[in-house]
Amino acid sequence: MDQESTTLIETLETQRTRFSHRTSVSHKSDFGQYLTPGAIALFMASMFPNVKGSVVKLLDPGAGIGGLACAFVLNMNQRVQGIHYDIDCYEIDDNTLLKLTKTLQELRSIADVGHAVFHKDFIEEAVDHLLQFNKPKYTHVILNPPYKKIHSSSSHRKLLRLVDIEVVNLYSAFVSMSLELLQNDGYLVAIIPRSFCNGTYYLPFRKHILANAVIRRIHLFESRNSVFKNDSVLQENIIIMLQKSGAIDKVEVSYSKDQSVADVKCKRIDYHDIVDLKSRELIINVPYETNYNYPKVETSFKHLGIMVSTGPVVDFRSREYISSESTDESIPLIYPQNIHKFRVLWPSVKELKASINQNAVTQKLMYETGFYVVVRRFSSKEEKRRIVAGLVHPADFKSEYICFENHLNVFHNQGKGLESDIAYGLVAYLNSEGFDHEFRIFSGHTQVNVSDLKRMKYPSLSRLRELGIRLQKNEFNHQVFEDIIAEVVISEDKQDS
């Protein structure tokens, strides 16, 4: 990059840091205002293919101080000469406007730039545009949209419904509306939270983007939550490039360690491995870069012939039947806190020994005492593992029945206990690094739902049994789980192939 461009980028980066320091946390949160670090802005700009025509009509909705539009022009100007850039920026925050205009003006000394700054709500403007049947105007969009929930009664939600867009967050609204304003074959690059890739809330959004565009590229950061860490945003972000109405081809998936976007690694992945367009859920699978030697397990949950359910006791609804003073004969009520070192202890290490009265109402919530495997439904973002599974061993309970609280998922056999070897095998497999890793590939949230567990692949029953047999001769710890999986699943995989 020439000296003038480098100086502009550096100045902008200093301004971004200063601006960000001076802006209060509440203001940032009100405006969903987390400015893109310079290195990421340039990297996003570098994703666009070389411009073919002589005019670029660029949109930067929610432009902040103009870092993304600026990065786009500086990067493209390096690669292709003789382009006229027409830039439209939308921004509602008064505090940014002076800097934004100045950034765009400074670009004029480097490239042939015309610009307009709209101090207007982008959603309102875009909906207006569509309602008037105006044609899409942009050839390129670059955006880091505001991240904020849209409540069902909000004016944004009502406006968006006028143009058949159903979204739960401003970021997806910005991407959807930007796509609407993009010309056929045009490109859009956005940095957005990963949460849209799965889950029912974002299904209408996925439907909208996949019906109108193809995914050309996805970039992932190995160190999650790192992109806006200076703004304390603990949110896993991805960068996605879409092309409006282009033909389906392989998707380029790239990885970098963190926001410095140094040492980018790339691979090309079949489109249908990223998203199955015939599926109902349209989950976007973002494969992580990994050296992990993950075994190829192919058994679907339904073929295992076992079941998994959410713990049926919702404690605030059953309060009158629950007691913390329990005898050995009481019906134990198991909470996530009862899991200790992959085994369910009652009482827990912190002496949690809740129980439930046995009566006509509670009887249907009970499981016969036996072997079960429980998985915690919630973890915090900071926890290393999403999946924490514990073994329920009948020898640890004197009662005829046990109960599971609603913050747990329970693996069982038609409401009864599992075969012991299978239960042990599941404990090893569910707690393995590979399972956790695969789980995260399609789950962007910290919750572990029954439907997620059912969607995963498992080793065959005979391999689970073999895992269980080996685990019974060992202690419960991560190293043992990995070792026996390497012996039973990975080495047998190699023999099979």
Ligand X SMILES: C[S@@+](CC[C@H](N)C(=O)[O-])C[C@H]1O[C@@H](n2cnc3c(N)ncnc32)[C@H](O)[C@@H]1O
Chain contacts with ligand X (rule: CB under 6 A): 31-36, 62-64, 67-68, 90-93, 96, 121-123, 144, 146
Distance of CA 202 to the CA centre of its chain: 11
CB of 71 to ligand X, least distance (A): 9
- Going by C-alpha positions, the residue among 461, 435, 464, 439 that lies closest to residue 452 is 439
As a whole number of angstroms, the distance between CA 199 and CA 93 comes to 31
CB of 37 to ligand X, least distance (A): 8
The answer to whether the beta carbons of residues 97 and 117 sit under 8 Å apart is yes
The answer to whether the beta carbons of residues 357 and 323 sit under 8 Å apart is yes
40/373 with CB nearer ligand X: 40
Helices (runs of H) and strands (runs of E) counted in the chain: 18, 22
12/345 with CB nearer ligand X: 12
CB of 121 to ligand X, least distance (A): 4
CB of 31 to ligand X, least distance (A): 4
As a whole number of angstroms, the distance between CA 211 and CA 205 comes to 10
CB of 156 to ligand X, least distance (A): 7
150/471 with CB nearer ligand X: 150
Sole residue written with tokens 């061993």: 393
CB of 77 to ligand X, least distance (A): 19
36/358 with CB nearer ligand X: 36
CB of 35 to ligand X, least distance (A): 3
As a whole number of angstroms, the distance between CA 453 and CA 451 comes to 5
Interior angle at CA 56, CA 76 and CA 48, nearest 5: 45
- Determine how β-strand 366-368 pairs with β-strand 355-356: unpaired
90/458 with CB nearer ligand X: 90
64/468 with CB nearer ligand X: 64
75/330 with CB nearer ligand X: 75
Q: Which long-range contacts (CB under 8 A, 24 or more apart) does 432-438 make?
A: 432/478, 432/481, 432/482, 432/485, 433/292, 433/478, 433/482, 434/292, 434/294, 434/295, 434/485, 435/387, 436/385, 436/386, 436/387, 437/288, 437/290, 437/292, 437/294, 438/294
